Chain A
Amino acid sequence: MDILYFAWVRERIGTGSEQLAVPAAIATVADLLDWLAARSPGHAAALADRSAIRVAIDQEFASLDAPVADAAEIAIFPPVTGG
């Protein structure tokens, strides 16, 4: 699964993308965020405040309870700040 990061989430994690084999036990966006936060101190810092995190599954905004099993690309970023 491709995981993409944007804006300050990208800066805190230290990379714009990772290709990860996500365990089958990770069912939802919330599970995925918990799993990612345990990967490094940078991940933990970037994902600490869940109210400041937005997620898109295959380029569509998704909620925390959305299933992730069939996703090809999951993007994680702050709320958008527009044009």
Chain B
Amino acid sequence: MIRVRVQPEPIAIAEETGALSAGRSDVGAVVSFVGHVRADDGLQSLTLEHYPAMTARALAAIAAAAEARWPLLGGVVIHRHGRMFPGEAIVLVAISSAHRAAAFAAAEFLMDWLKTRAPFWKVEERGDGRHWVAAKQSDDMAAERWHAGS
């Protein structure tokens, strides 16, 4: 029910989110999150590498976990890989449900898991060269709260 995709192309955000409610009268809420590349500290580009076979499995498992946890009507997770520039959208998570609480919660759950469990690695390019981004402990803690019996 939640479609997942990893692609190098830009994300058609309006089409993807619009499709979740088009022609339906049972959808009461569509929550979408769009992550963008920020030009922090003079960032010139961001390149995402991924492990395609594992990304497909991990995203399908994460989507299934969200569906099992909340009453959802549909959703889409699209993540880009390759080279991106400040301002570009890097990830879209959009979830539809009858009521907003489940859609908000599922979208946040999916983003926390994408940050910590999906096999993506980032390279930042600045004036002083290119650097691999280190994993953040704050992201791990954000994902952990979903285990804490909430």
List the one stretch of B23-31, B64-72, B97-105, B112-120 in contact with chain A. B112-120
Alpha-carbon separation in the docked complex, A8 to B133 (Å):
10
Chain B contact residues: over half helix, strand or loop, or mixed? Answer: mixed
Name A2-29 residues within 8 Å CB distance of B: 4, 6-8
Alpha-carbon separation in the docked complex, A81 to B115 (Å):
6
B118 touches A6 (CB 8 A): no
A83 touches B119 (CB 8 A): no
Q: A4-B51, A75-B54 are in contact. Are A81 and B121 (CB under 8 A)?
A: yes
B51 touches A6 (CB 8 A): yes
A59 touches B35 (CB 8 A): no
Residues of chain B contacted by A56 (CB below 8 angstroms):
51, 54, 119
A82 touches B118 (CB 8 A): yes
Number of residues on chain A facing chain B (CB within 8 A): 17
Number of residues on chain B facing chain A (CB within 8 A): 27
Q: Nearest chain-B residue to A75 (Cβ)?
A: B51
Residues of chain B contacted by A81 (CB below 8 angstroms):
120-122, 132-136
CB distance from B125 to the nearest CB of A (A): 14
Alpha-carbon separation in the docked complex, A7 to B119 (Å):
10
Name A39-82 residues within 8 Å CB distance of B: 56, 59-61, 73, 75, 77-82
- Selected from A4, A60, A73, A78, the residue in CB contact (under 8 A) with B121 is A78
- Selected from B51, B90, B123, the residue in CB contact (under 8 A) with A77 is B51
Alpha-carbon separation in the docked complex, A60 to B132 (Å):
23
CB distance from A16 to the nearest CB of B (A): 10
Query: What are 9 inter-chain pairs, A to B, with CB distance below 8 A?
Result: A7-B121, A7-B132, A77-B51, A78-B121, A81-B122, A81-B132, A82-B122, A83-B35, A83-B120
- Please report A residues at the B interface, Cβ cutoff 8 Å: 4, 6-8, 56, 59-61, 73, 75, 77-83
Apart from A79-B135, A82-B120, 7 more pairs, CB < 8 Å = A6-B51, A6-B121, A7-B49, A56-B119, A80-B116, A80-B117, A83-B79
